[in-house]
Amino acid sequence: MLSKRLVDAINDQINYELESSYLYLSMSAYAEATDYLGSAAFFKKQAQEEVGHAMKFFGFLNETGNRVLLAGIKGPEVEFEGFGDLYRKALEHEKTVTARIHNLVDIAAEDKSHEASSFLRWYVDEQVEEEATFNMIVGKLKFVEGSKQGEYLLDKEIGSRA
């Protein structure tokens, strides 16, 4: 049985994953409106992944006999200061997600919840991958930022990942 504290934290994370999806969808819309079509496709894929993450938590709570309680989702940021701003903000967002996952792992450890600890391992690994992806893109920005041609080529490369 999961503690109330852990169930509440997972329910909060479900909501945060859905907010993350909404943020990435907003980033996709901005990218498309500014003709960064590779980034638009990339962020759309990220948005779908975040819904998948929320649904994994959703399923875990149900499988462990706990209740999923959804909350309202706040509106995402809709204006950005260009191509690079999208990726710097996405990296910062992923760092926040990582901290939240680590908090869940800490709660599971304190509660001696072996089932939650096992379940959360996937998210720890996933966040390493997410941060690495955005760190790589932000690292490449220093070579191209301010160059429309460079941004175009990086956008095209990012789009190929989608």
Instruction: Tell me how far apart the alpha carbons of residues 22 and 9 are, in angstroms, rounded to a whole number.
Output: 20
* 114 annotated to a ligand binding site: no
CA nearest to 25, candidates 46, 52, 55: 46
Amino acid at 146: G
Residue 94 labeled ligand binder: yes
Q: What are the structure tokens assigned to 20, written together? A: 């993350």
Among 103, 4, 121, 114, residue whose Cα is nearest residue 56: 121
Q: What angle, rounded to 10 degrees, do the helices at 114-144 and 148-161 form?
A: 150
- Is there a binding annotation on residue 50? yes
Binding residues, by number, are: 17, 50, 53, 94, 127
Q: What residues are designated binding site for Fe cation?
A: 17, 50, 53, 94, 127
